[in-house]
Each structure stands twice: as C-alpha cells, then as structure tokens.
Structure 1
Amino acid sequence: MRFFYTLDARKVKQLSLIIVISFFTALFVYTSSISTQSVFSTSDGPKAIYKGEKGIALTFNIGWGDEKAEPILKELKRLKVESATFFLSGAWAERHPELVEQIAKQGYEIGSLGYAYEDYTDIEDSKVRQDILKAEAVFKKLNIKDIKLLRVPTGHFDKDVLKVADKLGYTVVHWSVDSKDWTNPGVEKILENVTKAKKGDIVLLHASDSAKQTKKALPAIVKQLSSKGNFVNVTHMISNGDAKSTIIP
C-alpha cells in the first residue's frame, strides 16, 4: 500500500505541474493575441515600443563615424526606399550637419539617440535627462524640430530611464529584429538575421562606421522585405495602434 501511495503522489505532482504550465501558456497566448502593438512598460505607464502593426520599419542608428552614413543614404535613394527612421546621436549630428540635412531632405524620419552615447542604465536620472536635452538642443539648432522618438544609447534601459524619457515627451523605441550588422558577420548572415522580419517589425540597422557591410546587404534586404509589406517610418507604424505591456522590474 505504501508503494501505491508514493506512485499516486508523484502522479498528482506531475498533473499539478502540467496544469500550472498549461495555465501560464494559455495566459501568454491570450495576452499576445489581444494586442497589435508590443511594448515594454513600467507598471504606471511609460513604455518602450518594439513592434507595431503597419508595414516594416527600417531603422538606422548613427552614433559615430564619418564614412558609412552617406553611402547608405545614397543606396537607399537608389533602391527607392522612401520611408525609414534614423536615430542620431547629438554629438554626431553636431559634427555632420550636412548629412542631417540630407537625411531630412530624403524624407526620412529623425529620432534621437541621446547626445554622448552613454549607457543610460549606468548613470543617474539627472544625467540621462541632461543628455537627452543636450541632443534636443542640437537638433533644434539644425532645424530638426519636434523629435518625439528616442532610442536609448546601447539599447539598455530600465523603468527609471523610461520615466525620464516620458516626462520629457519622448517615446522610447526598441526593435523586434536585430540585423547584428555592426558585428560584420557577412552580408549573407545580415540578410538571414533580417529576413525573419514581417509586418509590424522594427528592424535595427546601423549607419555608423563600425557597420562595414550594411550598404552591401541593403539591396537584398530591401528586395526580401518589400515583398512582405510596405516600408514605413516608426511614427507611421505605431500611430493608432493598441498596445500591450510587459513590466520592467
């Protein structure tokens, strides 16, 4: 009798575990299905968007460098890509006003990458605020007004960073597809990383000098992704979309 009691207890534990796993799986599927625009957020509101519902957003970070941005802009023009979003560090923009002007003239959206390209999770909230505002002042001098999108330098953020950005009127924009082009893994690997993108995805690319293979990868990227949806900027993608939230601890 003792043997059968032990066996039954094990079965009960296994059954309980299966029920718990099934419950959380169902909860995850449900919460995923009730929204079309995905975000990270704090429990009291501020959020970082990483997915939308309309089109595909090509986004380019530029934090430093003198050589790669212009060729990438020319290649996008050649490929007739009319919508994209460039996140520029204020320090870079300050040194390259002619390229900032070219980005705007080609009709591309400009977002902020802060000023000094510091990891916001490593500095005090007051320093984060100062960095964002310093970049904002640079863009205003360059006649780039009303920037409301912020991609945090290095991509690292926490609830405090989200709150600072929100108080300054910025929406933090992350990404759902990472090309990893800055690691220079080869054009084929960049394409492999990017072609998983589908409608609603925000794709991370770079136009800094560290990304030596991005320009070569662009024709294949544009060909592959244009068959899945229209290219849109981030603001267009996230406008009028419902959002779900994942809590940032």
Structure 2
Amino acid sequence: MKRKMLLVDDDILMREFITDYFHKENWEVHEAENGAIALQIFAQTPVDLVILDIMMPELDGWSTCREIRLKSNVPIIIITARTEDNDQLLGFELGADEYVTKPLSPRVLVARAAALIKRTESAPHRQGNMFVQGNLSVNKLSHTVSVAGSMVNLSPKEYDLLLFLINHYGRVLPREYILDSVWGYDYLGDLRTVDTHIKKLRAKLGEEGRYIGTVIRSGYKFDVEP
C-alpha cells in the first residue's frame, strides 16, 4: 500500500524535485503551494506525512503547522532555508517532528521520512490510562510508575516531567518549552532545572531511562530510539 504525503512549498521546482524522489519510493504525493491550500487538502485527504516549507504566501508554515497540530498527530517535517536556532525551537514547539534545512538532499529527506514513519508506527502500547513501553509502565490514574514490576519512587515534579515527555512521544521538546509547560511561566529557575530533573529521572528509571534522549542544541525527547 502506498504511503501518502502532503508536500507544501511555494517553489514549484523544489516540489517537483522532492516529489520525483518520493515517487521512486512508491509514495503518493499531494502538492500545495501555500498553507491555505494545504489545509484544504489535509481536511479532505488522509495522509501519513506532511513536509512543510516555512516562508510561503497567504499562510506561512508556522501557522499551517499550528493548525494541523490542532487536528492531528500526523508526522510533520519542516524544510526551510532559515537556520537560526530560534526558528528550529519554534518549529518544535508548534509540534514539528523533524527540521531539515535547505539546500537539502532528497535522498536524505526520503530516508528521514521513512525513519519518522517507522518511529510513529512503533509507538508504545497505550490502553486507557496505562502507558507501557518495554519494562516501563505508567498508570495515569494512580500516578504510579513501575519498571519490570517494581515501583519507582518519583517526586511529583519528576512524574509530571515523565508524563509530559510521554504525552509528546517522539517529538523534540526544547528546554524552554519543557520548563514553561512543566514548571509554569512564572517559575524563576533556569534551564539547568530541566537538565537536573532529566538526569535524576533517567537514574531512577534505570535501563528504561534510555527512552529519554538528548537532542543536541535542541532539548529532549521520549522515543523508542532516542
């Protein structure tokens, strides 16, 4: 069965360039020249992946990413010529899963798309208020965490941090975003607070702490292959 992808870029040559490589890998590609058209297509056509440029007329990539995330957890790869760290952080905060800068290699883009789809499909087992991955189990009702059947004693903030990471499974979460979301916007501490709690959380989870990955210059993510 063909994978379906929505490619959003106002550069027609770039769209043709990328589409050609995805066609060779048996992908079905739907194209849009701006965010407004992309949202129309997205509402009508189920897709497995969105590849999204940032600088576009009518509706830019930031706004398009935000609107898609309100409706769906479909994997999103942002492609852009902008390389500033703040732009990448914003993309991740809006829910993008990958960030690829131009000029890009279409072969690498196809490979990263395939890897992203694989991670999405291998997402851990969820049943009601239970989360299970490997030997790690989290009961969201009782706020309890166990590893290989043994209870793990987490502080309330450590539990909140773990649950936040799990609820954003597979996504890169900037330290600033974690700090604001878990500790609150009025918290007076600095980013080292996040690093310290991550270190303690990994230690308490033991071998299962491997699921909490560090993304250099970006932040952290919870994933089967961090």
Q: Provide TM-score, normalisation by structure 2.
A: 0.29
User: Counting strand residues as a fraction of each chain, which structure ranks higher?
Assistant: 2
Q: Provide TM-score, normalisation by structure 1.
A: 0.28
**Higher CA-based Rg:** 1
